[in-house]
Structure 1
Amino acid sequence: MGQCFSKAKSGRADLEENVEFLGGNVHPVTSKEDWDQKLSEAKRDGKIVVANFSAAWCGPCRGLAPFYCELSEKYPSMMFLLIDVDELTDFSTSWDIKATPTFFFLKDGQQIDKLVGANKPELQKKITAISEK
């Protein structure tokens, strides 16, 4: 299982580095207002939110990104969000992110599960279990 604990690059990621993280039904969260809007939308539509706290410089995050996009297409009844911990540092800190990637599973804005690390089988297992509830 891969995890990143600190920055392993120099300089900030530019937008082009983040392109590979997006696709399918993955929605980027670029502000606290975005987050609030997406959670409100998910609650209204009765969707579970899968929030991926990630970083462009994190190898395991990059490796898992295509799989995360595939899952977002396979489970349209869920809302898949992507939060760049470098872009939203204060917000990520408020979620106590210690390693990337970290996934939170939310229902009606409340955490129902969590996964730390780029563990594809465990991510698939948790999403499958939650989607069947």
Structure 2
Amino acid sequence: MAAAQGAVIACHTKDEFDAQMAKGKEAGKLVIIDFMSPSCPFCLEIAPVYAEWAKKFPSAVFLEVNVFELKEVAKSYNIQAAPTFVFIRDDLTLESFVGAYPDKLRNTIKEFIDNTSAASASSA
């Protein structure tokens, strides 16, 4: 289960999910989780956009969680609807939102990626 940098990593078990979250935390990376359903038309609509952003922002970890396949994980994040995007760094939820909004997704990713770059530069 190698982490595919620049790709969306689909987690099919809680162990896979926990391992990816641990890798992201260890590396100090922004982790973005797409809580989705394969029967949701909005989830299917945003999936190629999410994959595109994964390629454009390889410094973040992009995970995909099927809310029906990993109910326990979805419940632990209090997911009420799909798609829901959750942004996490160092076990801290920075933001989450519901809906297939490409611009909002991109802007939120950029906000937290840019904040990381700025924080790194100021601590140097």
User: What is the TM-score normalised by the length of structure 1?
Assistant: 0.79
CA RMSD of aligned residues (A): 1.0
Secondary structure, counterpart of 1:132 in structure 2: helix
Q: What is the total number of aligned residue pairs between the two structures?
A: 110
- Once the two structures are superposed, what CA deviation does each residue of 1:48-84 show, in whole Å capped at 9, x if it has no partner? 0000000000000000000000000000000000000
Q: Which amino acid aligns with 1:100?
A: A
Would you identify which runs of 4 or more consecutive aligned residues in structure 1 move more than 2 Å? none
Please state if 1:119 is matched with 2:101.
yes
Which residues of structure 2 form unaligned runs of 5+? Answer: 1-5, 116-124
Which residues of structure 1 form unaligned runs of 5+? Answer: 1-23
Q: 1:100 aligns with which of 63, 79, 82?
A: 82
Distance in 2 separating the partners of 1:59 and 1:38: 26
- Which residue matches 1:71? 53
- Which residue matches 1:31? 13
Q: Which has the higher helix share?
A: 2
- Decide whether aligned partners of structure 1 residues 129 and 28 sit closer, same or farther in structure 2, where only a CA change above 3 A counts: same
Secondary structure, counterpart of 2:10 in structure 1: strand
Percent identical residues: 33
Secondary structure, counterpart of 2:58 in structure 1: coil
User: What is the TM-score normalised by the length of structure 2?
Assistant: 0.85
Distance in 2 separating the partners of 1:93 and 1:111: 15
